[in-house]
Amino acid sequence: MDALTLHSPILAVAIPLLAAFATPLIGRLSSRARDVFVIAALASMLFVVILLARDVYEVGIRIYTLGALSPSQAIPENHMVPVRLVFEVDGLGALMAIITAVVALAGTIYSIVSIKPETGQNRFYALLLLLVVGIMGIQLTGDMFNLFVFLEILSISGAALAAFRTRFVDAVEGGFKYLMVSTVGALLFLLAIGIFYGQYNALNIAAIASAMQYTVLDQVALALILAAFLMKSGAVPSHWWVPDTYTPAPAGTSPIMYASSLACLAATFRMLFSLYGVQMSLATVGWIVIIAGVLSMFVGVTMALRQTDIKRLMVYHVISQEGYMLLGVGVGLAVLSNPEALAAYGREAIAGGLFHVINNAFFKGLLLLTAEALFFRLGTRDLNQMGGMGRTMKWTCAFFLIGALAISGVPPFNGFASKLMIYESTYLFNPVLTIIALIVSVMTLASFTKVFQSAFTGPALPQYKEVREVPMSMKLGMGLLAAATVFISLFPAFVVDTIIYPAADALLDRSGYISAVMGGG
Amino acid sequence: MSQLVLNAPFVAVAALTCVACYIIMTQKNLIKIVMGVVILQGAVNLFLVTLGYRIGGVAPIYTETSGTLMVLPVPQALTLTNIVIGVSTTALMLALIVLIYRHTGETDAEKSRRMKG
Amino acid sequence: MSKIVRTIAQAVMPFVFLFGIYLIIHGHLSPGGGFQGGAVVASGIALLFVSFGFKYVSTFLREDTLSAIESSGALLFIGLAFAGIATTFFANFLLGSPVFGSIPVTGPGVGDIWSGGTIPLMNIGVGMKVSAGLSAIIFSMMLIASKKRGGEQ
């Protein structure tokens, strides 16, 4: 068990990677064996991630040096800087790894039935696992260039998955847009890496951070990094690709694709806090993040209100909810140089933002899956053609209600808990932001009330008389996410104390992040 | 004079980046957009290789050389990786364009795009 | 294609493949390696397609064979990385062993191909993956070009 914990950072990436390449070979033998294999691989990844997270919360930052004589030897003898590839997992990495592992498992279980009508399923699972590799890698790596490579793995597999149902032209276009955005974003990020390497001769995030001189070039690099990651995570002003890509993506992948957006968001936070940190005057950057957040919240929810396509509506809420996370963390960023304000509300704001990340990954993923469940049975995503599904699809209806109440911030659900943290802390920072956030929350509730009424209530429509509940595996996939949502709703204080605050502290503790690799401190 | 020559690659990088961004933002034809992306890849590759260049340096493959100066190998490795990734993204983008063309008979973004976000 | 093209392709083909394989297995000593060699091999396949036509080549080159080679190449690579996990992931566990084990004094010795530990084996894995992968891309593009249905990207 100790050996497993020792190697857990790399295993969390290597297991899905191995599985991704083995899947096409196993799929040639039997499709049932392949399904079992994929699920087993993701389940063992979840197990490894839990081991890793427990270790990180108990012991502290864990590093893993690939190819070295021992995993903890980041800097070889007679060297000053890390030469090898180093994985570095802190509280934030552990949080995101847990999210990714749970969501990936749920999405894949859901996919087993929902992808059955399509051809080329071997490729589907291989791409799905590669997408998981990309998301995992972004969270766990401590190396800039490695991050770039994982980003590209994520974007190529994500684009291929979004365009997987090639018979729909929307899907192909969505995939193309996604690939466009990701490639340009990743190239901007590579330019920033080049700037760092030219100045500091290092690619390791901790090594660059410890050598950081805050020159003009570094500010240019910061602008490039922010542009790249905000573009990929789909915050306003580059939100235009999100609905086009996520709406036609195959059912089970939606929550995993969403987790990839969240991963890019977390990578933004990692860059801002761990790479730049307090010395840079971050109030301006903080305000940029806050403004991007507020715009995302507002634009997302207003666009959502006028949609009639159920999944597209939910995808617009994705943008709007990302706004909350940006708002929370942005407030923390803006007061980073002010210790009193940071202690009073900054830390809580960051924690609120991160809490919203984990909550959203679960209930938003759940909602996207229920939308796809309706599409699976009814063959339409148009809200005007639905009605009375609450009678026939009871489980789906129940899952939808859990997700909808949670996302609208209705107590006692977890969405309320994280939103409350954001409200309280932003109120101390700037009350106007809180008021906007409250208005957006009310609009979210209105939008989901509309969905509930038109899809689930009312008399059963005659053309859907024969419609039955979705098959078991889809129920299981949704049930896993619903259980996670309910669990967090029941024990919010426990979750915040054990998972969220370590992540927020990991972001604030820049010197700890550096010294874990560079030693000394 | 020598300063100018030394900085010429960086000027080229800036120029290529601007050209690529202009193409990506203004062109409507999907193939042309892909060309813009490829130019951007070229710009980034040139940037990385230039970073690692040392005047009079030898290629970093010889174990016994008379000269002491070597061109940095790491940026070259980065460039190579980026070329590999560039090949696969370009291939995927072109494949998607082929599919779009099959569905709509157009490679023009304005005409083939039905949904506007 | 015309007879001239076919004849020249026939004459050149062995050298293209040989050069690609040289680049792959010599990758740890000289410029080259898995990707470069694999790309050369795939360009040989492209030459094959262009000169002899899709119909003829697809009788003996099948897409699922290619994807099987691709997956096994990748598996070889990851498997070697996993095999080093007794020390660390990607650790070079073959150094000093009878297989590719000789340790040159400083850097790779000239011409000592029996060195480098796992690196030459990884090059072979990558070479398999890249040559098969790029060939599969060319295959799909030719499939689309020859206006048959059923090709997914």
Q: What is the pLDDT of residues A408-421, one digit of tens each?
A: 888 888 888 888 89
pTM: 0.91
A:C CB pairs within 8 Å: 59
Domain spans of chain C?
Answer: 3-145
CB nearest to B98's CB, from C31, C110, C144: C144
CB nearest to B61's CB, from C30, C140, C141: C30
Q: What is the pLDDT of residue A517?
A: 84
Cβ neighbours of B75 in A, within 8 Å: 194, 197
Residue pair A195/A221 in contact by the 8 Å Cβ criterion: yes
A259-275 pLDDT, tens digit each: 999 999 999 888 888 88
What's the complex ipTM?
A: 0.91
- Does B84 lie at the interface with C, CB-CB under 8 angstroms? yes
- Does C140 lie at the interface with B, CB-CB under 8 angstroms? yes
Tell me the DSSP string of A445-484.
HHHHHHHHHHHTSSSPPGGGTT--PPPHHHHHHHHHHHHH
Q: Which pLDDT band holds residue A282 (cuts at 50, 70, 90)?
A: low
Q: Which pLDDT band holds residue A135 (cuts at 50, 70, 90)?
A: very high
Tokens 């304005």 belong to B110
Answer whether the bond into residue A431 is a cis peptide, omega within 30°: no
Q: Is A106 or B116 the better-scoring residue by pLDDT? A: A106
- Does C140 lie at the interface with A, CB-CB under 8 angstroms? no
User: Is residue C105 over pLDDT 70?
Assistant: no
Q: Which pLDDT band holds residue A118 (cuts at 50, 70, 90)?
A: confident
Q: What is the pLDDT of residue A379?
A: 79
Cβ neighbours of B48 in A, within 8 Å: 190, 194, 197
Domain spans of chain A?
Answer: 281-490
- Does A67 lie at the interface with C, CB-CB under 8 angstroms? yes
Stretch A366-383: mean pLDDT: 85
CB contact under 8 A, B92 and C108: no
CB contact under 8 A, C153 and B61: no
A:B CB pairs within 8 Å: 86
Which of A94-103, A212-221, A251-260, C79-88 reaches the highest mean pLDDT?
A: A94-103
Cβ neighbours of B61 in C, within 8 Å: 30-31
- Does C151 lie at the interface with B, CB-CB under 8 angstroms? no
Domains of chain B (ranges, CATH numbers):
2-112 (1.10.287.3510)
- Does B85 lie at the interface with C, CB-CB under 8 angstroms? no
The residues, ordered by sequence, that sit 6+ positions from B106 with a Cβ below 8 Å of its Cβ are B100, B112
CB nearest to A17's CB, from C78, C84, C91: C78
Which of A158-172, A450-464, B50-64 reaches the highest mean pLDDT?
A: A158-172
- Does C57 lie at the interface with A, CB-CB under 8 angstroms? no
Q: Is A156 or C89 the better-scoring residue by pLDDT? A: A156
CB nearest to A65's CB, from C78, C81, C88: C88
- Does C75 lie at the interface with A, CB-CB under 8 angstroms? yes
CB count within 10 Å of CB B71 equals 17
Own/partner contacts of C110-116, CB < 8 Å, gap of 24 or more, are: C110/B63, C110/C29, C111/C29, C112/C29, C113/C25, C113/C26, C113/C29, C115/C28, C115/C29, C116/C28, C116/C29
Cβ neighbours of C153 in B, within 8 Å: 92, 95-96, 98-99
User: Is residue C151 over pLDDT 50?
Assistant: no
Which of A39-48, A222-231, A486-495 reaches the highest mean pLDDT?
A: A39-48
- Does B63 lie at the interface with C, CB-CB under 8 angstroms? yes
- Does C144 lie at the interface with A, CB-CB under 8 angstroms? no
For testing contact with chain B, the best of A143, A184, A208, A296 (most B CBs within 10 A): A184
The lowest-confidence range among A27-41, C37-51, C110-124 is C110-124
Average pLDDT, chain C: 82
Residue pair C92/A67 in contact by the 8 Å Cβ criterion: yes
Counting residues of chain A whose pLDDT is more than 70, the rounded percentage is: 99
Q: What is the pLDDT of residue C109?
A: 52
CB contact under 8 A, C88 and A21: no
Counting residues of chain A whose pLDDT is more than 90, the rounded percentage is: 26
Q: What is the pLDDT of residue A281?
A: 66
Instruction: Name the β-bridge partners of B70.
Output: B58
CB contact under 8 A, C68 and A25: yes
CB nearest to C137's CB, from B59, B61, B91: B91
Cβ neighbours of A198 in B, within 8 Å: 51
Stretch C64-69: mean pLDDT: 88
- Nearest by Cα to C132 from C90, C51, C79, C76: C76
